[in-house]
Structure 1
Amino acid sequence: MKKKVVILTSVHRACDTRIFHQQARTLAEAGYAVTVVGRHPRAETVDGVSIHPIPHIRNRLSRMIVTPLRTGLVALRSGSRICHLHDPELLPIGLALALLGRRVVYDVHEDYPQQVLSKYYLHPLARRAASMIVAAVERIAGSILAAVITATGQIAARFPAHKTRVVRNYPRMTAETCGCNLPTDDTSGRFRLVHLAGTLSHVRGVTSLVDTMGLLDDSFELVLAGKWETPAYFHALRHMPGFARIRHVHHVPHPEVWQLYRRCHVGVICSLPLPRHLTALPVKLFEFMATGLPVVVSNFPLLRSIVDTHGCGLCVDPTDPKAIADAVRRLAQDRRLARTMGRNGMEAVRQYYNWNSEAAALLDLYSRLSESRCVRTSRYPVLSVTT
């Protein structure tokens, strides 16, 4: 009989890249019976993974109360021994599941206490209080839950080393995703930049990118994929000069992402220098590299260490639209350089930044959790950090 796993998310789509395409599919391919609970239009089985849809609640407060309860009930009814959480708002449910004998894994995508500090719709005092609460709940969860998975080594340092694993956001290597987009010398069409994000917001650098397009001529186009942070933010951007060179795509299903990349020439990631961005490794960076796109990225030490080491793009001040525009022009005018950087990025992903090694770390963790007896929190298996 297959070992059952339920993966829970109250914030992300069920078909999120990290949750579904990397982790759930890997576990299903390894023989686990995997159910993903999250936002999805219908109940179905995709690539051997069962998807249980949870209705999306637009009101933030209601979502943070109702959706975790719904996902927790699904987890209990699933009969799964291992429950894998992907959002901090699910931690109270995760702690309850642990007390009921489930093996609970907390997957940390970002530095969430720092993320809360960037939620500018909250009063500054409320932000600080919320950040402290999130940090405290994560500390409790780290001491009680069976295991913690983090997207970077920097985030892992905040959790108990003996039960924490780093599973990075590296792309799967397939014929479809790797090396499909080496730039050509064809200059007849527009030079397209591409930026993808779950939410298109000021802190993700979208304002700077629209300003950048105002400094470029009509031979350039920026493809923005994702949902706008708020209608007010979208309407504010519409009145900026650079918006005329923007093409917006609300949502791109994962299989179609690679087709979008084929129609573009450079990938841009210009998130603003907030503490949570300094420790993040965006999966889109490695997707751009895998498909042969040169990149223009924020000049943060972690990103620079990758881009400069492998010569796969240019690092810029994300708050300086002129610097971003100059980098884009350089790649547009020197197609040989762009092509070389694209090849360098593709080779770096093939050698270092692909999902194979991360899948091995994930499966090793699950093997240990599956083999251990279902006992109380003080006797969880010892795990080592993989950095």
Structure 2
Amino acid sequence: MNKKYRFHICHLTSVHPRNDSRIFHKMCKSMASRDVKVTLVVADSKGDEMIDNVEIIDIGAPAGRLKRITQTTTEIFNKAKELNADLFHLHDPELLLIAKKLKKLNKKVIFDSHEDTVNTILVSPYLKSPVSNIISFLYGNFERYVCRKIDGVIGATPYIESYFKKFARQTENINNYPILSDKKQENISWDQKQNEVCYIGSIDDTRGIKDLMNSLDITESEVRLNLAGMYSSSSLERDIKEHKNYYLVNDFGYINSEEVKNIYSRSIAGVVTLHPIPTFLVSLPIKMFEYMVAGIPFIASDFPYWRSLLKGSNCCIFVDPQKPNEIAAAIDHFILNKEIAKQMGEVGRKLVYENFSWKSQSEKLLTFYQKVLSN
């Protein structure tokens, strides 16, 4: 006997991996556990599979960026027509190219804006001004035109949602909060902590990696940096590995979630010193929440939005992300005052469990789906 589902949601992505934190682990799995049929269409050449009641369909990896935008989007559209879902949830700006085609098939379509794309284009390392200005302008007009026609838009931060609210039919803010267990984890042991701080995530100059590297040899304490993630370019990777302070780095490369937990367990503090570019000033970096869940304090860029988000709690030290001496002083404060670091970590952990759980966002997501489908 076939299982009866509330409705069928199909997530479409031409860029993100099948195990993406926001798309798969949060959105797909949380809906699949609520009697919603969930399909995820990806383009990675890893084949089809079923994981945690989520059907993953692979159309194959594109051969280059241009083919991803042209050929892959067409293949995703063709697959979407076959699947005949009740609602299509698009996760990449280039998939707006097929949004109106899906609407012509009388399908419900929503767009999930993970970032402020218009401003992100302006600081893209692949584009040079004034080319970036022209592309940003053209994309912005196209995005507004399409999003007026589809059924709704999800913003990954309050700022992003407020932008789309001006012209989209209906919007919702689904924050990228962490998945927390219903039962709080046992007390975190600080016995295994080393004189180490950590940075885990995309490694890029705009995310402060060079300033962080420059801070390592002006600390008073003997500290090492646990670095994990993908470099944004081969040239940046070469620059970092040739840096005079690279001998102070434990470079783990791209690692899985268990290895991430191991790094958190040995680190005294985390680092999230993004540069003050428009898209970062109002962002919600998941690593900030991960540090809080791990019970470690962190060093953060002094952005007004982040200060208001953390409600003045004493769980981090705010610094100018482009001043290595301020980063070094914050590192010293944690390394030389481990008991204070532990107390600040506990404050952050309490705050994340009280205010930043994915469970609240999954409720909003289900309600938004139902609202879109009922209109």
Q: Report the AA paired with residue 365 of structure 1.
A: F
Deviations 1:294-314, CA, capped at 9 Å, x for gaps: 111111111122346221111
8 Å CA contact 1:204–1:270 kept in 2: the answer is: yes
The 1:181/1:267 distance shift into structure 2, 3 A limit, reads farther
Tell me how far apart the structure 1 counterparts of residues 218 and 372 of structure 2 sit (CA, whole Å): 54
Give the alignment partner of residue 137 of structure 2, picking from 118, 126, 132.
Answer: 132
**Once the 2 structures are TM-superposed, how far is the Cα of residue 179 of structure 1 from its aligned partner?**
4.6
Structure 1 residues 265-274 or 33-42, which shifts more?
Answer: 33-42
Tell me how far apart the structure 1 counterparts of residues 198 and 243 of structure 2 sit (CA, whole Å): 19
SS across alignment from 1:232: helix
8 Å CA contact 2:298–2:315 kept in 1: the answer is: yes
Tell me how far apart the structure 1 counterparts of residues 200 and 78 of structure 2 sit (CA, whole Å): 33
Q: What corresponds to 1:70 in structure 2?
A: 75
Q: What corresponds to 1:378 in structure 2?
A: none
Q: What corresponds to 2:172 in structure 1?
A: 165
* 2:252 matches 1:249: yes
8 Å CA contact 1:183–1:339 kept in 2: the answer is: no
8 Å CA contact 1:182–1:343 kept in 2: the answer is: no
Structure 1 residues 206-215 or 293-302, which shifts more?
Answer: 206-215
Tell me how far apart the structure 1 counterparts of residues 311 and 218 of structure 2 sit (CA, whole Å): 26
8 Å CA contact 1:221–1:245 kept in 2: the answer is: yes
Structure number with greater CO (CA < 8 Å, separation at least 6) is 1
Q: Which runs of 5+ in 1 are unaligned?
A: 373-380, 382-387
Task: Give runs of aligned pairs for residues 90-169 of structure 1, distance below 5 A.
Answer: 90-160=95-165, 163-169=170-176
- State TM-score, norm by structure 1: 0.89
Deviations 1:110-157, CA, capped at 9 Å, x for gaps: 111000001133120210011112211221122111111111111111
Report % sequence identity.
Answer: 29
Structure 1 residues 323-332 or 222-231, which shifts more?
Answer: 222-231
Deviations 1:4-51, CA, capped at 9 Å, x for gaps: 211111221121111111111111011111111225533222221122
Tell me how far apart the structure 2 counterparts of residues 54 and 327 of structure 1 sit (CA, whole Å): 47
**Once the 2 structures are TM-superposed, how far is the Cα of residue 217 of structure 1 from its aligned partner?**
7.3
Q: What corresponds to 1:84 in structure 2?
A: 89
* 2:319 matches 1:316: yes
**Once the 2 structures are TM-superposed, how far is the Cα of residue 180 of structure 1 from its aligned partner?**
6.1
Give the alignment partner of residue 292 of structure 2, picking from 280, 285, 289.
Answer: 289
8 Å CA contact 1:200–1:229 kept in 2: the answer is: yes
Deviations 1:260-308, CA, capped at 9 Å, x for gaps: 3223221211111101101111111112111212111111111122346
Q: Which runs of 5+ in 2 are unaligned?
A: none
- State TM-score, norm by structure 2: 0.91
What is the alpha-carbon root mean square deviation over aligned residues?
2.1
Tell me how far apart the structure 1 counterparts of residues 239 and 197 of structure 2 sit (CA, whole Å): 21
SS across alignment from 2:144: helix
**Once the 2 structures are TM-superposed, how far is the Cα of residue 216 of structure 1 from its aligned partner?**
4.0
Q: What corresponds to 1:384 in structure 2?
A: none
The 1:73/1:290 distance shift into structure 2, 3 A limit, reads same
* 2:181 matches 1:174: yes
* 2:26 matches 1:26: no
SS across alignment from 1:169: coil
SS across alignment from 1:37: strand
